Amino acid sequence: MKLAFSTLGVPGLPVPEVARLAAAHGYHGVELRAHPEEPVHPGLDLTARADTVAEFKAAGVEILGLAGYARVAAPGDDEPVLAEIRDLLDLARDLGAPYIRVFPGGGPDQEPAEADATAARRLGTAAEYAADAGVRILLETHDSHRTAADAIRVLGQVGHRQVGALWDVMHTWLGGEQPSESYAALSPYLGYVQVKDIASATDTTPLPLGAGVLPLAECVEILSRHGWDGWLCWEYEKRWYEAAEPLPGLLDKGRDHLGRLLNDSA
């Protein structure tokens, strides 16, 4: 498996520094948070996009994906959501990133079946555009659809190879799923896996990998046992927890911890 980290852990860090950090600490790739407050977002012009590609290429680091914020199950008109997804797909194509992340984002007053149908309709429409761009759209296990069982209600309706799943191991665990259940449901759709660690179900402040309660060893063992050979991406949510320890000082230990889990599972 390849290892990456998300720029959510180093908010606002310039692209050359992100690339240098990944290379210096032995990570194969980076998930870029695609938001206007970050250096990489859909508003970048073509020159800035080319410069971003060049920085990562020179560092020998891959751009794993773009973590976008489109909410595919949200109430309202389809077109603004589809336009947001198309902009993300265009950016990913220009950067050579194979994936974009979208959220479910269903509303609190929506019936689950309505939220599922809305998300499936939008993802199905966006899938053809994604195919032309050569990029895969991944629905993250998050918010209104935090478990794998929730996510596959949508993905099963879409049934398109360009639409898959991003397994956030914290959300499926908080939703009460065992890793074996999450993997079994998501495996036909799985793009990559976000790993992290937290103190408890009521305290989701990010911790160094291995220092919290999430079943990371079990998740890696299941992936290895089934011969899955994709990406593990450390999403350290420093952006939302200012008091959390800075990520750069944790990167070596995090890489080593994942390496041990992979070796133990081999």
Every domain of the chain and the residues it spans:
2-265
Residue 265: its pLDDT value, please? 79
Structure tokens at 50: 């080319």
Structure tokens at 72: 């595919």
Residue range 206-265, pLDDT digits in tens: 999 999 999 999 999 999 999 999 999 999 999 999 899 999 999 999 999 999 999 887
Is residue 50 within 8 Å of residue 76, measured between CB atoms?
Answer: no
CATH superfamily to which 2-265 belongs: Divalent-metal-dependent TIM barrel enzymes (3.20.20.150)
Supply the Cα-derived Rg of the chain in whole angstroms: 17
Phi, psi of 10 (to 5 degrees): -135, 65
Three-state secondary-structure class, residue 84: helix
Q: H helices then E strands: how many in the chain?
A: 9, 10
Which residue intervals of the chain are DSSP H helices? 15-24, 46-59, 78-95, 112-133, 148-158, 169-174, 179-186, 216-225, 251-265
Question: Which residues lie across from 231 on neighbouring strands?
Answer: 2
Report pTM: 0.97
| Residue partners of 177: CB distance under 8 A and separation at least 6 | 147, 148, 149
Residues of the chain predicted below pLDDT 70:
266
pLDDT mean across residues, the chain: 97
Residue 162: its pLDDT value, please? 98
Residue 264 burial (CB < 10 Å; 0-12/13-18/19+)?
exposed
Report the C-alpha gap between 139 and 131 in whole angstroms.
Answer: 16
Residue 189: its pLDDT value, please? 97
CA angle in degrees (0–180, nearest 5) for 107-219-27? 95
Three-state secondary-structure class, residue 123: helix
Structure tokens at 29: 């790739």
Residue 71: its pLDDT value, please? 98
Structure tokens at 93: 């194509």
